[in-house]
Every structure is written in C-alpha cells, then in structure tokens.
A and B are shown apart, each in its own frame.
Chain A
Amino acid sequence: MHEMSIAQNIVNIVEDEMSRHGVDKIQAINITTGKLSAVVPAHLSMCFKILTENTKFSKTILNIEVIPICYTCTKCKKYFTSEKLIFHCIYCKEKNPVITAGKELSVQSIETGEE
C-alpha cells in the first residue's frame, strides 16, 4: 500500500542524481528490494508507471532486483539464503540465525542509454 510513496521517493532521488551528473534522459533505474522490506514489486512497478505518466520518466524502465533473505548461523557460521522466513539453521538446526540481508530498499544505479 505504501508503494506510491516509495515510487515518489525513487523519482526524487533520481532527479537529484540527474542534476548532479548533468544528465537529462534516463533509460533505466535499477533498484533493489529485500524480501523483508514489505514492498510488492508488481505494485511498485504500477505506481511508478502511474506517477511518471507524461513526465520525462514515462519511457524509463524500473528494474527491480529482489534480494532473498540471507542468514548466517551463530553456531556453525554457515551462510544460506531463503525465500521465506526461517528460524533454524538449515545445516545444524541452531535457533535464530542472524539475518544479514533481505531488508534492502535502495536505488543502486541509473542508466542513461548513451555511451
């Protein structure tokens, strides 16, 4: 439900970066969202499309990379990923592995489409 404000924030950040780099056209925006960030990629794409209609971003592609939940076990120190929340190490069954990634929500890069 809050995808519209997220789309607006993306636009604000990209506009800021464009003026910083003296760029006036953007072909693609690359963002990452963690599985735990409570963002629905399809909703975000739709909100971005609605928000940017008839603007300089109307042809810009929003690429959304979804980061799985990454864990490190506190006991066996092994690293693993999961599409959903889990509460035990998949190797040694130790409780509460530490979440090391999956909460991201960031603009990674923008592409101008020119060399």
Chain B
Amino acid sequence: MKIPVIRNILEANERISEQNQKLFLKNNIFVINLMSGPGAGKTSLLEKTITHLKDEIEIGVIEGDIQCSFDAERIAKKGVKVIQINTAGACHLDGNMIYEALDVFDLKKLDLLVVENVGNLVCPAEFNVGEDLKVMILSVTEGDDKPLKYPLMFQKSKVLLINKTDLLPYVDCNINTIKDSVLKLNPDIKIFEISCKSGDGLNDWYKWIKQATINKQKGA
C-alpha cells in the first residue's frame, strides 16, 4: 500500500522560524541572518557596524560556531549583548537554536538582532531562523568563481557585501565577474563593495542597515 504524504522535509524548522518571526515582529526587531564561508569577515563587519551604530540603535548578536567562543568574546568587547551557540558539529544554525538563545535578550529593548551563522557557503542558506532577510559576505580572496559554484546562498540573500576590496591588487579576482554572476543568479540583490580593514564602502552599509532597522520599527 502506498500512502501519499507530500510534506516539506524542512517543515519543522519552517514552523519554528515562523514563530520566531512573529516574536520579532511583535517586538519590532529587525533581524538579519549573516552568512558566508569561514574567514570572509562576518565578525569584523559586525565589530565595525556595532562601533558605528551602537549609540543610535540597540543591537544584539547571536554567534554560531562549531566550537569555541572567540567570536562572542570579540563582540562582547564592543559592549553589546551577545550569546554564543556552539553547534558541536552541525554545519548551520536552525530556528530552534535561535529560539532557545533568545532568553538572554530583553526583546522589548532590542532594535537589531544579528544572527552570525556558522562559516559555511552551503548549508546555512537552507535553514531559515526567523530572519527578515539573509545578508551574505564574499571576500575577494575566495575567488570570483564562487557565486556560480555555490549558487544557493547567493540566490537566497537580499544583500551581498564583497569584502577585502583592499586586497584586490594582490589577488586574481575580478570584482565585475563576481557582480555579473551574482546578478544573473539574483537580479534584485543589493551589493556593497567594502573593506573592513580600510573602512572603504562601509558608510553606505551603515546607512542601509540603520534605515532598514528604522523601517521595521515603523512597520514599513
């Protein structure tokens, strides 16, 4: 006997993400799911962003890593609330991990919550955590062929930051190749070219993230 089922394999995670999303909406918190391969600059971008915006908006951070708490320690030094999740092997964060981590935050006070996902260019893109949108980083040292080799994350992200542009003279990476490929995969994606080291391009990003946070609070 064949019994029809037709159920989304990730339905359990989808349900929990939707619950998270409702909770964030109720508290007017703008939530981004920050993703990239290991070492692209997620934590560096956060350090810079927090330094620039922490007097204007209340920021919270959830750090996901397979092991250790180096990233959370770096973020805590910037004076914002942060919690480290160790996935102990799992390659991504999921909705339930985020839900359980929310206890440490005073959600009523929070304006922006950043979920820094496990460094991995593939799996995190499959699992929603309740975010408003996915933001990803690709650094120029990773190579301009990555968008077409790992298309899923580029397709699911609303924003791409191309980081380490200060290293362009030293690497064989054509930034236009990155942009052309990404726009083929995702014509509506917003792209920022930045260097967390030199600070180039970061002002536009700060403006964008601040405005997006304000828009969420206004219900826009």
Distance in angstroms from B32 CB to nearest chain A CB is: 21
**Distance from A11 Cβ to chain B, minimum over Cβ atoms (Å):** 10
Tell me whether A56 is interfacial, beta carbon within 8 Å: no
Name the A residues within 8 Å of B25 (CB-CB): none
Chain A CB within 10 Å — which of B2, B151, B185, B187 has the most?
A: B2
Chain B interface main SS type: mixed
Q: Contact: B151 with A31, CB < 8 Å?
A: no
Instruction: Assess whether A58 is interfacial by the CB under 8 Å rule.
Output: no
User: For the complex, what is the distance from the CA of A106 to the CA of B13, rounded to whole Å?
Assistant: 13
Bits for B90-116, please: 1 = Cβ < 8 Å to A, else 0.
111010000000000000000000000
Interchain CB contact (< 8 A) of B127 among A2, A14, A114, A115: A2
Chain A residues near B13 (CB-CB < 8 A): 9
CA distance A31 to B11 in the complex (A): 14
CB distance from A3 to the nearest CB of B (A): 9
List the B side residues contacting A13 at CB < 8 Å.
5, 7, 9, 11
Question: What is the size, in residues, of chain B's interface with A at 8 Å between Cβ atoms?
Answer: 30
> Closest approach, in angstroms, between the C-beta of A85 and any C-beta of chain B?
6
Cβ B152 vs Cβ A108 within 8 A: no
Q: Which 9 pairs show the lowest CB-CB distances between chains A and B?
A: A2-B123, A1-B91, A87-B184, A112-B1, A107-B5, A105-B9, A38-B152, A9-B9, A109-B4
- Listed A/B pairs (26) with beta-carbon separation below 8 Å: A1-B120, A1-B122, A2-B91, A5-B90, A6-B10, A9-B10, A9-B12, A9-B13, A12-B12, A13-B11, A17-B3, A17-B5, A17-B7, A31-B9, A38-B123, A85-B151, A85-B185, A105-B9, A105-B10, A106-B5, A106-B6, A107-B6, A107-B7, A107-B9, A108-B4, A112-B2
Interface residues of A (CB under 8 A from B): 1-2, 5-6, 9-10, 12-14, 17, 21, 23, 31, 36-38, 85, 87, 96, 105-115
Not counting A21-B3, A110-B5, a sample of 6 additional A-B residue pairs whose C-beta atoms are within 8 angstroms of each other reads A6-B9, A9-B9, A85-B151, A109-B3, A109-B4, A111-B2
